[in-house]
Structure 1
Amino acid sequence: MNLPLELVPAETVAQGEAVARLYGEPLLEMPKDLYIPPDALEVFLETFEGPLDLLLYLIRKSNLNVLDIPMAALTAQYLVYVEAMRRHNLELAADYLLMAATLLEIKSRMLLPRPQREGADDDSDPRAELVRRLLDYEQMKLAGARLELLPRAERDYERVSIFVAEKVVERLPEVSLHDLQLAWLKIMKKARLTQHHQVRRDELSVREHMSAILRKLADGVFVVFDTLFEPARGPAGLVVSFLAVLELVKERLVEVAQNEPFAPIYVKLADAADDA
């Protein structure tokens, strides 16, 4: 009979109470004439990792010794599972059918008489290779289960990273020769706008201009690079002054600095910077 049963929790059954309820009435034991339709129970081979997994499940379920497998009973159970699956998904059951053929071969070899031969190994067991594969697979499966229990990042916990800056040091950009060139071109452009063209011959000394620049920097503070030049002295004087600055930088008598890219350039006596 097909009855609408309502199962109760397992802990309730353990306490000796009703195992189910039929139309609200408790049942102390399952009916012996309970009818279960054939299609109510289906085998899903997708839950197994492969033929070896299904074989191992049948062996452990029947509490069999894996080293002494009763091939007849195991093959019969295996074929029941594979036949149920073959009717629904033949493509998925292909690997399982191959294992079924292997089981049938082993079963037939065990049923056939084996004549004794001189020099042959009479103790050879047709199940030996299958047993070896099952034992290796079981070890790998148990190892995988133990690995699965280990904590895994982004599944069981999240990584947290904290950046702690103990000391923040401001790094000023280095003044390159190109920066000095751009500043020099800016000064020359300004000089051409403010100076009339004059043709004359001047005797200019780089050393004198170096001394003049050092006097302007005698206070030991940073001075804007543009203020070291006098546009009124003309292009020739500006060129000599620029050469004087380059010579002072080369001899490490002055220091040039810049707060940020494309910012004004500052000049300072090198020894004054060391004292600071």
Structure 2
Amino acid sequence: MNTSFKLEQFEGPLDLLLGLIDDEKLNISELALSQVTEQYLRHLDKIEEKKPEDLADFLVVATKLLFLKSRLLLPQFGVEEDEGPSLEEQLRLYKAFVEASKKLNKSWLDSSIRSVFRVEPPKKPSGFLPPSNFSFESLKESINKLLYRLTPPKPLPRTHIDKSITIKEKIDQIRNLLKKGQSASFSQILNDSKNKTEVIVVFLALLELVKQKTVVLNQGDNFSDIMINKV
């Protein structure tokens, strides 16, 4: 039987996103998705049992949200080639599917509709008639042959997913670092980053600080280290 991974009361990453947007009474748009990015990441932090096979879809959507937010903050940070359906399009399609399924369920509960699809119960079978040469030993031998042909399942590799830091936490870290001096380098701030996701979070935190006019960024030459100066 197939099972679906649930995060609190949500099933799947699109269901979680749709719930967050509905809670904020927002229309589905790129701006709305960027506004609920941090809430989405906080929901991921609440997961107690982190299984990679269950979290894969949630992490893919989290990466898309971070990329979308960075693209809105930096319009020139765009991608020209076709990347398939956008997250906004996928969410609109998912919402239409949810609404259609609710209408179908409501119609099914209507007794007049349900009676149209009434199916007669199957006739009671007359019983099992084993072959004349049937015996317990022949049954045991057939089962053993079947078990021998089955390939034992391969164990899944063990892995570990680190907890990602939030944008707010990274902003607080940068502010504390700048309290010790007037400036810090971009490479210095990246020292504690454990993966690509945390690098993106650092980048978004700096953009937010620039937007708040808390810091200014300077780069002496092309490809040289970026300096973060406190205003």
TM-score range for the pair, normalised by the shorter chain length: 0.3 to 0.5
Higher helix share: 2
Using the size of structure 2 for normalisation, the TM-score is 0.39
Structure with bigger gyration radius:
1
